[in-house]
Amino acid sequence: MTFSQRNYFEIAIEKQAPATITKASFPLRYGSYSEIKTTDFEFRFNLNGEIKFIRGLNLNWPHPAEQLKRTDGNDWLYNSVGDDSSEDGVISWTGEYYLPCLPYPSNAVWEINYFSNPNIMNAFAAWSQLYADLYSSRGEGLHARARHLINLILENDDRVLHDRSRALRAIIGGRLSVLPPDTRHVDYEIIPLVIADGCLYHCEFCCVKSKNWFRKRDRADIREQVRQLKIFYGRNIENYSALFLGNHDALAAGKELVCFAAAEAADAFEFQKTRTGSPYLYLFGSVASLLNADHGLFNTLNKLPFYTYINIGFESLDASTLKVIGKPVEAEMVQEAFQKMLDVNSSHANIEITGNFLMGEQLSSKHYESLIDLLGASPSSPKGKGTIYLSPLKDNPKKRELLPRFLEIKENSQLPTYIYLIQRL
Ligand code: SF4
């Protein structure tokens, strides 16, 4: 349903795009959303009336497929197509047709500072102007549905959106410092549910770890999070098809807690209602938690109503590198865990384990040689399972110079290989 308002803007209420995200070189559109178009910008809102995307429509906008996106953590990201939008560009580095440019420090190999581009920054001024115009019109003379949408948007001003991101953190017990790289498949749109805090290793190189040592949450805590999350997401919950079980090593929480949390969330959030395929379950694991996980865990996960991604931090296969980065595991354990990843991927249709390795100017040639040997000798998976993510060290001095190194590893790898961008919620 589309309405025009005195030629200033056009409103489309609850448009329906496919729930499943298609990897394509045009701007992402998924789920149910409302849209307001002015002459120069397109604003998209979720089912709660919260601003979600802004895209420029005139020739000053850098690229028609680029857009600003606001996360549930209230960060504004800029999805760029980079400086090479061919199949050799962004898609070959990240597996996606866009590059999320973040407003906070991360480990990106590219530096795109969208804050310095006035054409992009104009979008925020246009958003403020639209808000003021909506406020002064309050939808007078419009259809009741358009008026309702405008009231919802007006209720969600910048202060409210900021407070909501804090409320989300309060429900799950803190900000999530990193999302699994596999959440790119759902444009990082996940519902977080924390089942354990801290991690087993406290590696020296790691920039996302918390102060805490590993500790599971109890069932009552998980149930309460689910209850509050359902209220928090409100009507817009139907736009989510993915659950992230946090935090840094949910796999170490064990079969019972993982399956309990997944079942509680699947039931409460009704993921299957709006999707044709399986919803997604994401979690992180470690070398130790993968080695300790028995077949019972994978067999049970395989039967859940989810397609499950487990992302493991391997970091390196070289003993001297593991020492330099301060990761307290043996190289043999990494090798064994990597083999287990391949075995689980080939024996469980609904589970995909993926792995992370480090990249950085500071790392020795032994690290790269052992990595190229490992990935070159791995049996390729018929379904492209077992993606390897190469994570640049955060303080790497020369960022973009890592790309040729990445491409060399990728070309020699039998497994899909991409760059890992640390993104928070
Ligand atoms: S890399 Fe993983 S295990 Fe190591 S400190 Fe960071 S979160 Fe913990």
Q: Whose CA is nearest to atom 5 of ligand 1?
A: 202
3-state secondary structure of 291: helix
Helix/strand/coil (H, E, C) string of 104-152?
Answer: CCCCCCCCCCHHHCHHHHHHHHHHHHHHHHHHHHCCCCCCHHHHHHHHH
Q: Measured from the CA of 178, which atom of ligand 1 is nearest?
A: 7
- Report residues whose beta carbon is within 6 angstroms of any ligand 1 atom: 199-203, 206, 208-209, 248, 286, 313
Ligand 1 binding pocket mutation candidate from 206, 333, 422 (most atoms within 8 A of CB): 206
Q: Whose CA is nearest to atom 3 of ligand 1?
A: 201
Q: What is the pTM of this model?
A: 0.94
123-128 — which CB contacts under 8 Å span 24+ positions?
123/41, 123/54, 123/55, 123/56, 123/68, 124/54, 124/76, 126/38, 126/40, 126/41, 126/54, 127/41, 127/43, 127/51, 127/54
Amino acid at 253: A
**CA-to-CA dists, residue 56 to 70, 74, 124, 177, angstroms:** 15, 20, 11, 30
Q: Measured from the CA of 208, which atom of ligand 1 is nearest?
A: 6
Ligand 1 geometric centre to CA of 102 (Å) = 22
Largest CA distance in the chain: 71
- Residue 222 CA from chain centroid, whole number: 21
Ligand 1 geometric centre to CA of 312 (Å) = 10
Q: Whose CA is nearest to atom 7 of ligand 1?
A: 209
Cβ atoms within 10 Å of 7's Cβ, excluding its own = 8
pLDDT for residue 1: 57
Helix/strand/coil (H, E, C) string of 218-237?
Answer: CHHHHHHHHHHHHHHHHHHH
- Which spans in 138-274 are helix H? 144-155, 158-172, 219-233, 255-269
User: How do beta strands 191-194 and 76-80 pair?
Assistant: unpaired
- The radius of gyration computed from the CA coordinates of the chain, to the nearest angstrom, equals 22
Ligand 1 binding pocket mutation candidate from 197, 203, 312, 424 (most atoms within 8 A of CB): 203
Ligand 1 geometric centre to CA of 179 (Å) = 13
Give the position of tokens 């953190």. Answer: 169
Ligand 1 geometric centre to CA of 249 (Å) = 8
Helix, strand, coil tally for the chain in percent (to 5): 40, 20, 40
Three-point CA angle 228, 212, 284, nearest 5°:
65
Q: Which of 345, 320, 344 is nearest to 331 (CA)?
A: 320
Ligand 1 geometric centre to CA of 337 (Å) = 16
pLDDT for residue 398: 65
Mean pLDDT by 10 residues, the chain (425 residues): 63 88 78 95 97 97 95 96 76 89 85 86 96 86 90 96 98 96 96 96 90 94 98 96 96 96 95 75 98 95 95 97 96 98 96 96 94 94 89 77 89 95 93
Contact 179, 393 (CB under 8 A): no
Rounded to whole angstroms, the Cα distance separating 206 from 326 reads: 9
pLDDT for residue 384: 87
Q: Whose CA is nearest to atom 4 of ligand 1?
A: 203
Ligand 1 geometric centre to CA of 202 (Å) = 5
Q: Measured from the CA of 315, which atom of ligand 1 is nearest?
A: 1
Q: Measured from the CA of 201, which atom of ligand 1 is nearest?
A: 3
Rounded to whole angstroms, the Cα distance separating 57 from 40 reads: 5
Contact 311, 249 (CB under 8 A): no
Q: Whose CA is nearest to atom 1 of ligand 1?
A: 206
Rounded to whole angstroms, the Cα distance separating 389 from 189 reads: 19
